[in-house]
Structure 1
Amino acid sequence: MVQKIVHDWATGKVYPHFQFVFSFRFRDLNAINCRINLRNLILDLYPYFGNILGELWKNPEGLLFTFDGLDEFKDSINFADNRRNTEPQYMCTDPEDWCEVSDIVYSLLQHKLLPGCSVLVTSRPTALHLLEKAEISVWAEILGFVGEEWKEYFNKFFEDQSVAAAVFNHVEENEILYTMCYNPSYCWILGLSLGPFFTQRERKQQRVPKTITQLYSYYIYNILKNHGREIESPRDVLLKIGEMAFTWVSKKKIVFRNGDLIKYNLQPSQFLSGFMMELLERDDSAQSVVYTFPHLTIQEFVAALAQFLSPYPGNIRKLLSEAHSKKDGRFEIFLRFVVGLSSSQSARPLEEFLGPFLHQTICRVIDWVKEMIEGQIRKSGSKTGKRNLLNTLHYLFESQNTALARATVGSVETLTFGDREAECTLQLTPIDCAVLSHVIGLCDTIKYLDLEYCSIQCEGFQRLGPGLHKCQVLRLGANKLRDSGVKLLSAALRNPDCKILRLWLWDNGLTASCTEDLSSALSTNRSLTALNVGCNNLGDSGVKLLSAALRNPDCKIQELDISDNRLTDSCAEDLYSALRTNRSLTWLNLRTNSFTDQSVPALRSLILTCRSLEWIQ
């Protein structure tokens, strides 16, 4: 992305007000082990600037500095540390001042050095907390591919458009794989791993991957198939690669040097190049080769795979517990892969080249998952507890072990990820929703599901929807479901096996457009007794449609909250007409609407009809 920004600036497409753009990578800056000044930092990378830098300092507004990959920087920059502003050894207010690289970056960002210049810093989410105290005026999140761009990628990836269509259809039908497609790197992995299933006749009868672990198993399988014959013992070499990868996951590093390979008795080879990319890097004014996995998740997968190749399974549970205890998320994906690889379906393709996974390791991983889930269910009251529980549900999904799922969550009656206080709730991604739907689908005991303030939105709700009819109490308030989300929920209400008794949909941005579907569902539903659609924008036309459902003699609604919905006198007669024939409703909330004295006769009749009516003008 940074390269494109620099290219577009150089060709005049963006930022015409900048005279010069200086681009640095934190990965390169890690090689600087001494104090340096901004002048030499620039000349080291741009030697042709010679002695003209002094002229540039006179117009800092014309300078843009980009620093790419803060998450890869070896030093931690504390932007809340006031020592940098008061103690001489940390101060860097002049391009000629000698200091640490971290001090230069700090001073540029905090406008202490060359005030008026512009600075762009990029980072993976794992290091964003370092920038919270920095004086940053604009934040941007890179979303990657959206909508039709996913399909377009596969059409360009495969020459055979029938294969492209088959791969995309499989991805589209699979919630977890589909939600990965925003990331171009994931699309590349999907294309490499899934393509053979739709192009090689002998592979068509095998089950196409549906979890990320299964997907990555076939990614590695294809490398082993193409390069496995080039080395005497692929299992031993892959174990060493995995051990090295795990060490670097632990240290949050993604770049390997020749010294790292030597330490693990690895030699550069065509086999190794199947797993890792070779990059030319500057090191002390010289060129050297460094290695990195094509994507961080591939590094995490190989690190997980090494646990099953090791002949010593004794410490696996201790390792998993220690990894799970880290609160910075560095092992989150690694742990999902470990549990996923305990499944025979994920292990089978790799065992063809690597030999059988150690049975003791598989058993100990499964036992650890059981203990973790049972413990997290009991501790899911806090936000941290909710996050830990959600992570363990991801483990269950990756394992695809139905017996394990039913043994651990088969008797759970309550799942709570929301809260009436927004700051105590957990934000759920579409992938989280797909995992949650999978768990609900496996268990028939979950009666109460609280997802209030979870920011699910319509895309997440699409993933969550299929299993919702099995729950008795659904709290879905403040989730921005919009009308399209409620249309999906109406399908659950129409399900003949629907068990939903109480449904909260307050503050979801609903309008009259969704009430036709909702009204139709209420007319046929035989279970729902309480509905809260308060704090929306149903309006008079929406309530008129709901009134039609209330007139249906089969409607079972006993409690209805339509407060704060911009209702006026126009709908009062419709409500009165509906409730004059309705025999189930006993509680109605109409507060915070726009009724006037003209509605008093009809509303008085409502009070007499519903003995427990709560009404505040």
Structure 2
Amino acid sequence: MLLTNLIRGHLLPSACVWITTRPAAANKIPAHCVDMVTEVRGFTDQQKEDYFRKRFKDEKLASTIITHVKKSRSLHIMCHIPVFCWITVTVLEDFFKTSQIGEETPKTVTQMYSHFLRVQSIQGDRKYRLLTETDTNWTAQSREIIVSLGKLAFNQLESGNLIFYEADLVKCDIDIRAASVYSGVFTQIFKEECGLYQDKVFCFVHLSLQEFLAALYVFWSFIHNGVNLLSEEPPTSSEDELLLYQSAVDKALQSENGHLDLFLRFLLGLSLETNQILLRGLLGQTRSSSQTNKGTVSYIKHKLDGNLSPERSINLFHCLNELNDRSLVEEIQQSLTSGSLFKNRCLSCSVVSSGLHLTDIRRGAGRV
């Protein structure tokens, strides 16, 4: 209510309010209340390369990472966010040093964050629990704190909170001292309230990490406890895994400000066995069905046939990319190449163009 009155000018009418948020949420502010729009652009393509080269003394390694990022359209887009460049460097530096021959290089956002969490967990155990360099197993303490952080991330994401207090951590059974071990995932900041005392305020290093941990917690809760946290209906069989993903799609599409978009991409990405294997130390088992994945893809395509906003439609293209499904993009490409009209008339040219740019497949000669 306070923020609403500030935006509408009912409170402190002569004050200037600068609101930073993602585009989907910014579009919900009435146009007549906006005097100026500032776009925080992040890294340019050249700045991305400069960042990677400055991080590595090994020019060959830097060039290898730059080439890989450019090949994956989704990674290249995300790297305009400086913190994602840091995550990418952390993951790929470890990957190229420790990977086995034939091991798949991370190409999707879910793969990147799964690798990142694994690296952070193992490095934390080596530093604080004195594990050896050859020990790559997750400790029981690591699993416990990650699940607790995931619970916190999910609860606060649902409430729309990006910062939280010590009481919120206690509700999720988080030992504050233990959480400090994961400084790459979780950080502590201090906020002075009323000028009289300092109160500890907590947040994740970046919202995307909160969204990933929230998705991981939802997936973990389903495979370990059989609970669908996104639906009020209790699951009755293993076939309800498809219902988990369908309810996630529905919930994300119902969000007016798009705050569940990246959460949805992560959750669907975690449905793939390749990503589950990376987190086997936490999950304990893999659970993936090609039939379930096909059902999820079909459900997303059905939703794209509806009257969605461009932002929601583009995010569903991102979701298909996380599921490693190219069927819709190939269908569009075939239509463009043959000169025939693409059958989905609900998708605007800008959405189709964005969807094509997200894929790593070489596009045909058709024009959008």
TM-score range, shorter chain: 0.7 to 0.9
RMSD of aligned residue pairs (Cα, Å)? 3.5
User: For residues 319 and 374 of structure 1, what CA distance do their matches in structure 2 show?
Assistant: 14
| Matching of residues 477-496 of structure 1 within 5 Å | none
Residues 1:297 and 2:205 are matched in the alignment:
no
Residues 1:323 and 2:248 are matched in the alignment:
yes
Residues 1:281 and 2:209 are matched in the alignment:
no
Q: Which has the higher contact order (CA 8 A, sep 6+)?
A: 2
Asked if structure 2 preserves the Cα contact closer than 8 Å seen for 1:280 and 1:288, the reply is yes
* Residue aligning to 1:236: 144
| Matching of residues 197-346 of structure 1 within 5 Å | 197-198=95-96, 200-202=97-99, 206-228=103-125, 230=129, 232-268=140-176, 269=178, 270-284=180-194, 285-310=196-221, 311-315=224-228, 317=241, 319-325=244-250, 326-328=254-256, 329-346=258-275
* Residue aligning to 2:26: 128
1:425 alignment partner, one of 333, 348, 364: 348
Residues 290 and 416 of structure 1: CA distance in aligned 2, closer, same or farther (over 3 Å): farther
User: For residues 315 and 12 of structure 2, what CA distance do their matches in structure 1 show?
Assistant: 43
1:396 alignment partner, one of 313, 316, 320: 320
Asked if structure 2 preserves the Cα contact closer than 8 Å seen for 1:339 and 1:395, the reply is yes
User: For residues 224 and 111 of structure 1, what CA distance do their matches in structure 2 show?
Assistant: 48
Asked if structure 1 preserves the Cα contact closer than 8 Å seen for 2:188 and 2:202, the reply is yes
User: For residues 158 and 234 of structure 1, what CA distance do their matches in structure 2 show?
Assistant: 29
Q: Secondary structure at the match of 1:374?
A: helix
Q: Secondary structure at the match of 1:265?
A: coil
Residues 299 and 429 of structure 1: CA distance in aligned 2, closer, same or farther (over 3 Å): farther
Q: Which runs of 5+ in 1 are unaligned?
A: 1-74, 79-102, 442-465, 477-617
Per-residue deviation, residues 576-615 of structure 1 (Å, max 9, x unmatched): xxxxxxxxxxxxxxxxxxxxxxxxxxxxxxxxxxxxxxxx
User: For residues 280 and 153 of structure 1, what CA distance do their matches in structure 2 show?
Assistant: 29
Counterpart of 1:354, as a letter, is L
Q: Which runs of 5+ in 2 are unaligned?
A: 130-138, 230-240, 336-340
Residues 274 and 142 of structure 1: CA distance in aligned 2, closer, same or farther (over 3 Å): closer
Higher helix share: 2
User: For residues 202 and 112 of structure 1, what CA distance do their matches in structure 2 show?
Assistant: 57
Q: Secondary structure at the match of 2:27?
A: helix
Percent identity over the alignment? 24
Residues 162 and 238 of structure 1: CA distance in aligned 2, closer, same or farther (over 3 Å): same
CA deviation after TM superposition for structure 1 residue 232, in Å:
3.4
Q: Secondary structure at the match of 1:384?
A: coil
* Residue aligning to 1:468: 364
Asked if structure 2 preserves the Cα contact closer than 8 Å seen for 1:145 and 1:184, the reply is yes
Aligned residue pair count: 329
TM-score normalised by the chain length of structure 1: 0.47
Asked if structure 2 preserves the Cα contact closer than 8 Å seen for 1:301 and 1:337, the reply is yes
CA deviation after TM superposition for structure 1 residue 179, in Å:
1.6
Residues 1:188 and 2:80 are matched in the alignment:
no
Residues 1:156 and 2:54 are matched in the alignment:
yes
User: For residues 124 and 377 of structure 1, what CA distance do their matches in structure 2 show?
Assistant: 25
Asked if structure 1 preserves the Cα contact closer than 8 Å seen for 2:154 and 2:215, the reply is yes
CA deviation after TM superposition for structure 1 residue 279, in Å:
0.7
Asked if structure 1 preserves the Cα contact closer than 8 Å seen for 2:297 and 2:325, the reply is no
| Matching of residues 33-52 of structure 1 within 5 Å | none
User: For residues 259 and 296 of structure 2, what CA distance do their matches in structure 1 show?
Assistant: 18
Counterpart of 1:276, as a letter, is F
TM-score normalised by the chain length of structure 2: 0.76
Residues 272 and 190 of structure 1: CA distance in aligned 2, closer, same or farther (over 3 Å): closer
Asked if structure 1 preserves the Cα contact closer than 8 Å seen for 2:184 and 2:205, the reply is no
CA deviation after TM superposition for structure 1 residue 222, in Å:
0.7
Counterpart of 1:341, as a letter, is L
Residues 201 and 251 of structure 1: CA distance in aligned 2, closer, same or farther (over 3 Å): closer
Per-residue deviation, residues 79-99 of structure 1 (Å, max 9, x unmatched): xxxxxxxxxxxxxxxxxxxxx
